Amino acid sequence: MELNDLIHHTGEWLKGTGPFGHIVLSSRIRLARNLTLAPFTNKAGKKDMEAVLKAVETAIGSIDQFKGSVFFRLNELDNVGRQFLVERHLMSHDHAASPQGKAVIVSPEEALSVMVNEEDHLRIQVMQSGFNLDGTWEIMNAVDNALSEQLPYAFSPEWGFLTACPTNTGTAMRGSVMMHLPALVMTRQINKVLAAIAKLSFASRGFYGEGTQAIGNFYQISNQVSLGHSETDIIQNINGLIRQIIEQEEQARQALLVQNRSALEDKIWRAWGVLKSARIISSQETIELLSIVRLGVDVGIITALATTTLNELFIMIQPAHLQKIDGKKLGAAERDIRRAQLIREKFQAA
């Protein structure tokens, strides 16, 4: 598998087949792990980071869960290639920004990926479609156990897994769920919900995680603390919170349909019309309009599009994806034209 093989490939988390897929786009478990063979990355030298890269590359070769995976050294990818992986949620902006001594491992279905030499030596990630943290953890636990048999983890009996950032110490686990909450935004309840999330010591971030703002009514909800909590406790706490938010979003959608259906339909069909006919469109406007159309599909107002198609479009219309699709670099104005063309083609084919 090469990087370009991912262009027309639908990752596991985008398939829209998981539980509560009309509200929950994906579930993700991330583990931070460091190795005893080198200092943390903020203190590691070039030789240290290379030693970690070689050890990890050797280890995954004997682990079943990584069969068919590709080991991408970031300094061998151009800016577009690195941004392409960021857009697919396979690595962070920070990881892409300074590629020397770093890598990312990607499984064939993109359900499993590992950032090597990011803030920690390993940032292991498993993503699944829909609301399925329990199933995601089951996969992750097996992967982590297999890696621990091949690599010397830095672990303290008192503090747990040692990490570069103290907030990750303990289980060093971050569970997160990507939610689409347009009705809570439209009914102006979202700020109350986000305030409640913060009071419960959970974090709310945007479509691309830490350091990003919510766009397209997408919110990534995750735990903030891992020290003193078991993996099971963390998952149970997140599950309880997400179930409440799902219920609130469903109630808000029903209220919009009952109390102001005409206004809702007008908003949805206007978004549909712009996307079907626009000749020039920015990525931000596209995401906002796709969010409204996705709501229309979810509540049964629009029946001509599949959720999977819309999920794919949220990724395909991003700058690096457009350039990968065309096989050449495109300026901002060219991307806005190509984006509009791609959307029209997808809508016409539906």
DSSP string for 269-318: HHHHHHHHH-SS--HHHHHHHHHHHHHHHHTTS--SS-HHHHHHHHHHTS
Please give the pLDDT value at position 19.
93
Residue 102's closest CA among 111, 87, 91? 91
Rounded CA separation 271/289 (Å): 5
- In this structure, how many other beta carbons lie within 10 angstroms of the beta carbon of residue 98? 12
Rounded CA separation 114/84 (Å): 16
**Interacting residues of 73 by C-beta distance below 8 A, sequence separation 6+:** 53, 102, 103
Rounded CA separation 327/340 (Å): 17
Rounded CA separation 135/348 (Å): 36
Where are the domains positioned within the chain? Answer: 3-253, 261-349
Please give the pLDDT value at position 33.
97
Q: Are the CB atoms for 275 and 343 separated by under 8 Å? A: yes
Per-residue pLDDT of the chain (350 residues; tens, 9 = 90+): 778 788 877 788 888 888 999 999 999 999 999 999 999 999 999 999 999 999 999 999 999 999 999 999 999 999 999 999 999 999 999 999 999 999 999 998 999 999 999 999 999 999 999 999 999 999 999 999 999 999 999 999 988 999 998 888 899 999 999 999 999 999 999 999 999 999 888 988 876 555 455 678 999 999 987 777 889 999 999 999 999 999 999 999 999 999 999 999 999 999 999 999 999 999 999 999 999 999 999 999 999 888 888 999 999 999 999 999 999 999 999 999 999 999 999 998 76
Q: Of all helices (H) and strands (E), which one includes residue 127?
A: strand 122-129
Cβ burial, residue 337 (10 Å; 0-12/13-18/19+) = middle
Q: Are the CB atoms for 278 and 309 separated by under 8 Å? A: no
Residue 91's closest CA among 172, 212, 209? 209
Please give the pLDDT value at position 214.
66
Phi, psi for 102 (deg, rounded to 5): -125, 160
Give the three-state DSSP class for 158. coil
Strands 70-73 and 103-106 come out as antiparallel
Amino acid at 171: T
The CA–CA distances, whole Å, from 114 to 23, 41, 261, 325 equal: 26, 15, 45, 25
What is residue 77's DSSP assignment?
Answer: S
Q: Nearest 10 degrees: CA dihedral of 157, 161, 162, 168? A: -130
3-253, what's its fold? Creatine Kinase; Chain A, domain 2 (3.30.590)
Rounded CA separation 27/136 (Å): 7
